[in-house]
Amino acid sequence: MKIAMIGLGYIGLPTAVMFAKNGQEVIGFDTNKDVIASLQSGRIHIEEPGLQEAFEDVLGNGLLRPVSQLEPAGTFIIAVPTPHTEDHSCDTRYIRQAVQDVIPLLEIGNTIILESTVAPKTTTGVIQPMLEEAGFTVGVDVYLVHCPERVLPGKIMMELVHNNRIIGGVTPECTIAGAVVYQTFVQGEMLLTDASTAELSKLMENTFRDTNIALANELVKLSDELGIRALDVIEMANKHPRVNIHTPGPGVGGHCLAVDSHFITTSVLEKNFTDPNGKKDQQ
């Protein structure tokens, strides 16, 4: 299996290395020429335990090739940034550019996988129309899948292998095609679903964490005002079998948790969703 990884950041590079480590031929493409030059010289540009050594191994045996020009492959995996716009909606420009780069190289039977975290309906509403406008029928000619990354920096090499993996195809045939790709190294459970469910599941995972981190920190503020030790409150409350308050920390942040929940709310507003009483939900 030849795999083209588009985007060699904190997710793309370790994933490319993991595929190559498990015997797949991988090309790694990034629009940042400095990144490609560094990788071609044998130096990774990110900090992640175990990655440099694993990268050197697969670079040395030729299973991973960093390239400045995208090549044909059987599977194209897109792992590019998805920042938010001024109104906090999902900025898909890097995804759209990646798809535009892939389309001239596509052949019948190819699989296109999106790993980037996106707003609901991005796979079917942004990528699928681009492929179909190029003359490909998704689920018949090519297979389109959303497989969101679910790893923790500092433990990426372990979690890539052992975490459960969401495989969300646009059609059932697409889902199967995605599972075939990841079964080359994933030892966790393959959670087979559709693309839109996969998108929203990833967003809700991060929203749950975001909300609970914020809740724990708000508890600290309240406890300080009342002269109560917050950690004692959390310890007591967590004795309940259905309660798991997080440990307070520096705050909600990072490039994922503080952003991803907005992808849900802006999607709701764009769709003009209403509640059962007919009122628009803008909360």
**Pair 237, 125 in one domain:** no
**Pair 189, 88 in one domain:** yes
Domain boundary among 199, 230, 261: 199
**pLDDT value of residue 89:** 72
Residue 20 maps to a domain: yes
The number of folded domains in the chain is 2
pLDDT tier for residue 208 given thresholds of 50, 70 and 90? confident
pLDDT > 70 fraction of the chain, expressed in percent and rounded:
87
**Pair 160, 233 in one domain:** no
Q: What is the mean pLDDT of the chain?
A: 89
Burial class (CB in 10 A: 0-12, 13-18, 19+), 74: middle
Report, as residue numbers or ranges, the catalytic residues: 202, 256
Domain boundary among 199, 224, 248: 199
**For the domain that residue 230 is a member of, what is the CATH number?**
1.10.1040.10
pLDDT score of 275 more than 50? no
For every residue of the chain, DSSP letters joined together read -EEEEE--STTHHHHHHHHHHTT-EEEEE-S-HHHHHHHHTT--SS--TTHHHHHHHHHHTTSEEEESS----SEEEE-----B-TTS-B--HHHHHHHHHHGGG--TT-EEEE-S---TTHIIIIIHHHHHHTTPPBTTTBEEEE------TTSHHHHHHHS-EEEEESSHHHHHHHHHHHTTT--S-EEEEEHHHHHHHHHHHHHHHHHHHHHHHHHHHHHHHHT--HHHHHHHHTTSTT--PPPP-S-S-SSSHHHHHHHHHHHHHHHT-B-TTS-B---
**pLDDT value of residue 267:** 52
Cβ proximity of 112 and 102 under 8 Å: yes
**Pair 175, 206 in one domain:** no
Residue 282 maps to a domain: no
Average pLDDT (48-72) is 98
102-111, 137-146, 185-194, 248-257: least confidently modelled range:
248-257
- pTM for the full model? 0.85
**Pair 130, 184 in one domain:** yes
Q: Which residue has the higher pLDDT, 179 or 205?
A: 179
**Pair 7, 31 in one domain:** yes
Residue 280 maps to a domain: no
**pLDDT value of residue 167:** 98
**Pair 24, 57 in one domain:** yes
**pLDDT value of residue 253:** 56
Q: Which residue segment(s) compose the domain that 240 sits in?
A: 202-271
Residue 283 maps to a domain: no
CA-CA-CA-CA torsion sign (273, 276, 281, 283):
negative
Residue 262 maps to a domain: yes
**Pair 19, 49 in one domain:** yes
**Pair 16, 113 in one domain:** yes
pLDDT tier for residue 271 given thresholds of 50, 70 and 90? low
pLDDT score of 140 more than 90? yes
Average pLDDT (67-86) is 91
pLDDT > 90 fraction of the chain, expressed in percent and rounded:
75
Residue 168 maps to a domain: yes
Residue 276 maps to a domain: no
**Pair 143, 57 in one domain:** yes
**Pair 213, 162 in one domain:** no
**Pair 163, 57 in one domain:** yes
**pLDDT value of residue 277:** 45
Domain boundary among 140, 173, 199: 199
pLDDT score of 211 more than 90? no
